[in-house]
């Protein structure tokens, strides 16, 4: 009887005892493998973080220095004095202030348009069944497969025929079209994860399709909307190729965005380059995006994992 009880306790019901079955990650050997892998992962992340952060720190430190300090002192040395002359020079003399405000204006309108049209299209494709649903969806997704530079020539000709070259309207419309494929792709998958019983209850209560979308489903998709909005803001803020193709006519300098302005500073400087002002302009373009991402970091993570969690 004693031996029977020992055997039963050693092998729980519903399990199969075979050689090597009891060896798991809980054994000392398994724990050592996990710790070793974790150690290599942390080392790789530390190296990657250093490669990313070091250039940013160098640019920010150089923006407070003069040209002499940049080229004669140690690269990562602190500035001899905390001077904002380079920022003042970049903001006024290099017209970075105007380019900065132009970027804010263009990105704000284009991101708003992208999220309105993209979320509406994604909602219809995710929640309604009709002929051509999959075709339209794959048509949007196919936009992710083509590099932007392949469409520059036809895009230029279309805007020229419409009279939208060197205009904010043309640039904003191009930004919206450029960002729609990923927005529709992401939000379609997110809308599919939302519960059906909430929408059915709203329809029973007399809600129209428009009211159902704006007052019920859109607030439920808040985490996904925040995530894709941040991605669109960062992508459109850092866009350089499209503005160069669209805003290069005579008199378009006043409408340049920040990336064009920074490139113009580095190209037109010649032998009298004001490197401190250039680094100040780079800092002005980098820091806002870091602040935005840091502020909405939790919302971005929750939006990316919401579909898997549900």
Tell which residue, 34, 82, 24, 95, has the closest CA to residue 263. 95
Tell which residue, 287, 262, 268, 275, has the closest CA to residue 73. 275
Percent of the chain with pLDDT over 90: 42
Model pLDDT for residues 43-61, shown as the tens digit of each residue: 999 999 899 898 888 899 8
What pLDDT shows up at residue 2?
44
- Which residues have CB under 8 Å from 101's CB, separation 6+? none
- State the pLDDT confidence band at 252, using cuts at 50, 70 and 90: confident
Right CATH number for 91-309 from 3.30.420.40, 3.90.470.20, 2.60.40.1180, 1.10.3720.10? 1.10.3720.10
Q: Is the pLDDT of residue 9 over 70?
A: no
- State the pLDDT confidence band at 290, using cuts at 50, 70 and 90: confident
What pLDDT shows up at residue 78?
84
CA atoms within 13 A on the CB side of 190: 29
Where is pLDDT greater, at 206 or 17?
206
What pLDDT shows up at residue 256?
92
CA 213 to CA 211: how far, in whole Å?
5
Q: Is the pLDDT of residue 108 over 90?
A: yes
From residue 221, give the alpha-carbon distance in Å to each of 48, 167, 195, 258, 287: 33, 33, 11, 32, 28
What pLDDT shows up at residue 5?
44
What pLDDT shows up at residue 112?
96
- State the pLDDT confidence band at 159, using cuts at 50, 70 and 90: very high
Phi, psi of 63 (to 5 degrees): -70, -20
Q: Is the pLDDT of residue 205 over 70?
A: yes
| Rg (the chain; Cα; Å) | 27
* Domain positions in the chain: 91-309
For range 34-49, the mean pLDDT:
86
């Amino acid at each position: 009887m004693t031996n029977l009880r020992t055997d039963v306790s050693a092998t729980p019901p519903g399990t199969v005892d075979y050689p090597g079955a009891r060896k798991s990650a809980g054994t000392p050997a398994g724990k050592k493998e996990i710790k070793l892998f974790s150690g290599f992962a942390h080392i790789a992340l530390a190296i990657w973080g250093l490669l990313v952060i070091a250039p940013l720190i160098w640019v920010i430190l150089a923006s407070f220095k003069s040209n002499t300090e940049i080229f004669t002192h140690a690269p990562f040395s602190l500035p001899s004095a905390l001077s904002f002359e380079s920022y003042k020079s970049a903001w006024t003399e290099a017209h970075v202030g105007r380019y900065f405000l132009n970027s804010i204006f263009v990105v704000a309108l284009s991101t708003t348009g992208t999220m309105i049209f993209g979320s509406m299209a994604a909602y219809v494709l995710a929640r309604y069944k009709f002929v051509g649903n999959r075709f339209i969806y794959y048509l949007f997704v196919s936009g992710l497969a083509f590099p932007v530079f392949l469409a520059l020539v036809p895009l230029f000709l279309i805007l020229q025929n419409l009279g939208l070259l060197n205009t904010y309207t043309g640039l904003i419309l191009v930004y919206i079209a450029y960002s729609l494929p990923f927005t529709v792709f992401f939000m379609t998958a997110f809308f599919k994860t939302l519960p059906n019983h909430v929408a059915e209850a709203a329809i029973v209560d007399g809600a129209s399709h428009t009211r159902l979308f704006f007052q019920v489903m859109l607030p439920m998709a808040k985490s996904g909307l925040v995530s894709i909005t941040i991605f669109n803001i960062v992508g459109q803020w850092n866009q350089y190729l499209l503005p160069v193709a669209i805003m290069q006519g005579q008199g378009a300098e006043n409408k340049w965005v920040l990336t064009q302005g920074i490139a113009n500073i580095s190209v037109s400087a010649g032998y009298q380059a004001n490197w401190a002002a250039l680094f100040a302009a780079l800092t002005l373009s980098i820091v806002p995006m870091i602040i935005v991402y840091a502020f909405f970091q939790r919302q971005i993570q929750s939006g990316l994992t919401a579909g898997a969690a549900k």
